[in-house]
Amino acid sequence: MLLDLNQVSRTYARHQGVPVTALHPVTLAVGPGEFVCLAGPSGSGKTTLLNLMGLIDAPTTGTVTLAGQPTHCLSRRAAARLRLRTVGLVFQEHNLIPVLSAFENIDYVLLLQGLPARQRRQKVYHILDLVGLGDLADRRPGELSGGQQQRVAIARAIVTAPALILADEPTASLDSTTGRGVMDLLRRLNREEGITCVFSSHDPRVVGRADRVITLRDGRIVGDGRPAGG
Amino acid sequence: MTLMPLTLRIALRNLRRNPRRSFYTIAAIAFGLLCLLVFQSLKVGLHREMVASTIGLDAGSLQIHARGYQPNLAVLKPLPDPAKVEAALRRTGCTAFARRLKTPALLLAGKESSSVLLSGIEPGREPRVTFIASKVVAGAYPAAGAGVLIGKPLAKALEVGVGDKLTLMAQSAFGRPVYRRFPIAGIYRSALASFDRSHVYLSLGDLQNFLDAKGVVTEIAARFPLSQVAAKAASLRRALPAAQYNVSTWQKIAPDVVQLISLNDATMGVLIVIVFAIVALGIVNTMSMVVFERFRELGILAAIGTSPGRLVAMIVLESGCLGLLAAAVGTLLGLGACWWLGRYGIDLTAFTSHNQYFATSHVLKAHLLVRDLVAANLITLATALVGGLYPAWKGARLEPARAVRHV
């Protein structure tokens, strides 16, 4: 399995120390090439579960194994390295570094990987063409539309050829046409590049495009299967 | 292109995101550097003036006496074999030295009298050691048989002028009281009134005759470049037997000057720490705001694989860029201020006319040393980098999941 979560829960200490459980213990696995949607209403624990899958949050209990590597003992630095190698992250909005151009935002993660300049340049332009933004490479995020920004974020997430893309409500801030374009892109990457995608949404049109839907409610998994009508 | 240039690009572009804040921060740091350069250069100017006054007024760079010599004693303590001392000085490469005979005396003019220190000097060689010859305002420097040179305040107090006669009373080499009338050959005025009232000069030969001390000198004063004094003194101490001679540098002759310089250095150190602590707090404040405003960006950077160390470097680099720009601005302003203060100075006559450390001039001029300029810039940069460290550390410790939720 690409991703294994075993009895993973997340509790936050809030309001004068009163703990709030965002995610009750869940156990699930995601295999290579899957196209998975985490569905559920706001506050159901989708983002918490995605954060735990992407190692940008640590579980209160349980263990996360990513690409065969147990992650509970990893330092911040080691976790960052594993993320860089294995995971591409797309957030709901404001994904990009505003002072960098579209090209530089994508180039940055390749720089972190230590790739030489020529190789990076080729990859960045290839990926920008793939997401249909080859002409906008020099624009900064403020000069791009919301949909274009999301596509740059997806380009950044996939440019390192990660095994897994985690996208937290990638269409939530977009109009329906642009949102559909973003989902088409993710689907194409899943089919053509074999990239595993796990994304969250509460939009039935987006949920319906997944091969597998994991439904959450109040921090618990209440369903795991093919989408209704799929 | 390596990662660092992109990190540098991010830092520089981030500085432009809030130009007003960056401007004020740079202005504050630059002002700190300007203060440091001005204070330091004025301090160096002050110390140079103090040392120049001490050396040029009377002390010279060093003096050689007979062992056991004490100044201001009426009983003469002759320097053994002055020619041997001069030979030793020549061997060290020194050409500016002069023999002296000093004794306390009482000066009488009509009903007025004043106790003075009488110095027998070599009129041809003394001006190469001290600057009194250049301060003669009437008459001439005392040649053999020409009479005495007295200070202007003393002449005014005694109501005498060039050509008038004075009576000097002293104790001869044999312990007998002696007195003689001398004409006033010249009048001098250093910038130090108290010195001028108490120091009287005449030629060495005349004083030896007056004191029945033929061939006797009590000291030889020499002048070297400041940087050579310690080495030359050590060389002379090796050449002259310690049982007979005492070699005293200006620092030993005027320990008060040395202490005052040390005190100034310590005070300046405290001042620098205070100024740069304020600057550092300003930087911490600015960079904390930067981190707070960019919670989400830092979270994104961490989430996409930036290591905590790289995040620290990114924020510290931004802080360092602030410091670097401020150092450039502060250096330019500081150089301008130091140039002006070096050329025109600050007139301190109202505060220093009776101060022994301002015997050559009452105008305090700045003197900026290259090493001080470099040190001040390094301190500024270090302050900027250290000031950025804490906010950077806080930024790098953000939980990415929490940070990306931040709006």
Instruction: Tell me whether residues A97 and B300 touch, CB distance under 8 A.
Output: yes
ipTM of the complex: 0.87
User: How far apart, in whole angstroms, are the C-alpha atoms of residue B387 and residue B195?
Assistant: 51
Write the CB contacts of B383 (distance below 8 Å, at least 6 apart in sequence): B29, B32, B276, B279, B280, B283, B323
> At B232, phi and psi to the nearest 5?
-65, -40
Instruction: Tell me whether residues A94 and B302 touch, CB distance under 8 A.
Output: no
Q: What pLDDT was estimated at residue A54?
A: 93
Residue B330: closest CA among B47, B45, B40: B40
* Amino acid at site A114: G
Which residues are registered as beta bridge partners of B113?
B108
Q: pLDDT tens for residues B102-150?
A: 999 999 988 888 899 999 999 999 999 999 999 999 998 988 888 999 9
Radius of gyration of chain A (CA): 17
Work out whether strand A164-168 and strand A87-90 pair parallel, antiparallel, or are unpaired: parallel
* Amino acid at site B271: L
Instruction: Sort out which chain A residues have CB atoms less than 8 A from B402's CB and list them.
Output: 57
Tokens 């740069």 belong to: B276
User: Is A160's pLDDT higher than 70?
Assistant: yes
Distance separating the N- and C-terminal Cα atoms of chain A: 24
Instruction: Sort out which chain B residues have CB atoms less than 8 A from A91's CB and list them.
Output: 300, 303, 404
**Residue B338 · residue B38 · CB < 8 Å:** yes
Q: What pLDDT was estimated at residue A229?
A: 61
Nearest-Cα residue of chain B relative to residue A106: B304
User: How far apart, in whole angstroms, are the C-alpha atoms of residue B16 and residue B3?
Assistant: 20
Residue A182: closest CA among A58, A50, A93, A99: A93
Of A77, A104, A109, the CB nearest to B308: A77
Residue B130: closest CA among B138, B139, B140, B141: B141
User: How far apart, in whole angstroms, are the C-alpha atoms of residue B55 and residue B37?
Assistant: 26
* Amino acid at site A184: D
Longest dimension (CA), chain A: 53
User: How far apart, in whole angstroms, are the C-alpha atoms of residue A206 and residue A180?
Assistant: 8
User: How far apart, in whole angstroms, are the C-alpha atoms of residue A7 and residue A29?
Assistant: 11
Q: What pLDDT was estimated at residue B6?
A: 81
**Residue B35 · residue B215 · CB < 8 Å:** no
The edge-to-edge listing of strands for the beta sheet with A220-225 is A87-90, A164-168, A196-201, A35-39, A212-217, A220-225
Using a CB–CB cutoff of 8 Å, tell me whether A10 touches chain B.
no
Using a CB–CB cutoff of 8 Å, tell me whether A84 touches chain B.
yes
List the structure tokens of A83.
Answer: 């993320």
Write the CB contacts of B152 (distance below 8 Å, at least 6 apart in sequence): B137, B187, B188, B189, B196
pTM of the model: 0.76
How close does chain B come to A81, measured CA to CA in Å? 6
Provide the CA B118 distance to its chain's centre, in angstroms. 29
Q: pLDDT tens for residues A104-159?
A: 999 999 999 889 999 999 999 998 988 888 899 999 999 999 889 988 998 998 89
Nearest-Cα residue of chain B relative to residue A98: B297
Q: pLDDT tens for residues B16-53?
A: 888 999 999 999 999 989 999 999 999 999 998 889 88
Q: What pLDDT was estimated at residue A139?
A: 95
Instruction: Sort out which chain A residues have CB atoms less than 8 A from B297's CB and list them.
Output: 97-98
Q: pLDDT tens for residues A3-12?
A: 999 999 999 8
> What is the 3-state secondary structure of A166-186?
EEECCCCCCCHHHHHHHHHHH
List the structure tokens of B274.
Answer: 């205070």
Mean pLDDT of A204-228: 91
User: How far apart, in whole angstroms, are the C-alpha atoms of residue B271 and residue B142?
Assistant: 47
Mean pLDDT of B291-307: 88
Instruction: Sort out which chain B residues have CB atoms less than 8 A from A85's CB and list them.
Output: 305
Q: pLDDT tens for residues A54-96?
A: 999 999 999 999 999 999 889 988 999 999 999 999 988 778 9
Residue A46 or B348, more confident: A46
Using a CB–CB cutoff of 8 Å, tell me whether A126 touches chain B.
no
User: Is B356's pLDDT higher than 80?
Assistant: no
How close does chain A come to B3, measured CA to CA in Å? 6
Instruction: Tell me whether residues A83 and B401 touch, CB distance under 8 A.
Output: no
> At B172, phi and psi to the nearest 5?
-75, 175
Residue A230 banded pLDDT, cuts 50, 70, 90: low
